[in-house]
Chains A and B, each alone.
Chain A
Amino acid sequence: MRRRRGRGADRAGLHDGVLHEDGFEVFPLRDDYRCTPQSVASHTLYENADPFELKEPSGTLRTANARYEAISDRAVRVSGSEFVHDPEYTIKLEGVRQVGYSTILMGGVRDPYILAEIDSWLAQLDDSIKTRIRNTIGDRPYEIVTRIYGRNGVMGALEPQHAVGGHEVFILWDVISGSQELSRSIASSVSHLAVHNPIPKWHGLISGVAFPYSPPEIDRGPVYEFHLNHVLVPDSPTSLFRTEYEEL
């Protein structure tokens, strides 16, 4: 089971534990800290989808019937949880793949007329980018991820509020392609097209995006995503791991 054992080098989060056949006791090392049944039970919440079914290598820790008892004003005894072994020994395999190279642009918009029609402004920008890229770099694959902070930049698809409520937005463009040079070249086009992307209200060449940095393109190097999420059944618990013995 994952255990977070404190922040940094201080002893604030350090705990000691005593294991018994039928349970364990836990208490903090610092005198002015204490464990309570609530605080210890809360540990099953942390970064787990279900606090009563904790998936671990080779089995599941079931905590639905666990009892958390205070045995002093700062120590807790836990018993009654149950480890259910899987039929086979398993090892979790996680891995990533490189999806390309990223160059980002950061910019802000304050013009209320652009903000009032931000969706059509972005759609029009998207069209101009596609046309420009098709005419300059051709068919080489690329992707542009646009995040609008002030609208749904933090929550994306999970955001229930879709309107811009404030007087400015921050826009983060992330250009991803097969090489750093290509991503930077596309980002450079995006920055020019974005800053001059017209709206019906204004006549003439507008300057609609504030870039805090010049040049605005920032190379982010190779970028990755999760690609492998498998449960492996090895021949034996140790068969996948090389063990070398040395005589000392």
Chain B
Amino acid sequence: MTASGATLGDLAKLVRSKNAGPFWLTIDIMFDDPNAYRRARDAEIVNRAAIARLYNRNPADIIVVNHDTALAIKVSFPRPQSSGSKYDSDAYGGQQYAPLLGLEVPG
């Protein structure tokens, strides 16, 4: 990681995905350093258009929230299939965050 360029994966303390009920997925990008959080937040790289592109979702269905006290950026969108249904491959939604890790955060 260099001062000028880092990825979300470099900067975050924890990136995780989970079900939010059986029909939604939610991804938490959490930081322990307020400066790293503000840098990622203010770069606005986690936005509905970016998530829609990475996950092939409809931008109108995507929620992106910045939580300043929690030092976290949160992304939620409807699952392509409900949890545990025939074509679902991740019943608890735990491994759906990886595409976000490589997003470049400008310095």
A49, chain B: closest CB distance, angstroms:
4
Cα A214 to Cα B16 in complex, Å, equals: 37
Does B71 make an interface contact (CB < 8 A)? yes
Question: Please, which residues of chain A bring their CB within 8 A of the CB of B23?
Answer: 226, 229
Are A223 and B86 touching (Cβ within 8 A)?
yes
Query: By the criterion CB–CB under 8 Å, are B70 and A47 in contact?
Result: no
Task: Note all chain A residues with C-beta closer than 8 A to B28.
Answer: 42, 45-46
- Bound Cα distance from A37 to B72, whole angstroms: 13
The docked-state distance in angstroms from the alpha carbon of A104 to that of B84 is 15
Q: How far is the CA of A235 from the CA of B30 in the complex (A)?
A: 43
Flag whether A50 is at the interface (Cβ < 8 A): yes
A176 partner residues in chain B, CB cutoff 8 A = 86
Report yes or no: B95 in contact with A154, Cβ–Cβ below 8 A: yes
Give the docked Cα–Cα distance between A73 and B78 (Å). 39
With A66-B69, A223-B86 already in contact, 16 other A-B pairs whose C-beta atoms are closer than 8 Å: A38-B32, A42-B28, A42-B70, A47-B18, A47-B26, A48-B26, A49-B26, A49-B63, A51-B65, A99-B85, A155-B89, A155-B99, A158-B56, A174-B86, A176-B86, A226-B22
Q: Interface on A for B, CB 8 Å cutoff?
A: 37-38, 41-42, 44-52, 66, 68, 94, 99, 143, 145, 147, 153-160, 174, 176, 223-226, 229
Taking Cβ atoms with an 8 Å cutoff, the residues of B that contact A are 18-24, 26, 28, 30, 32, 54-57, 63, 65, 67, 69-72, 74, 76, 80-90, 95-96, 98-99
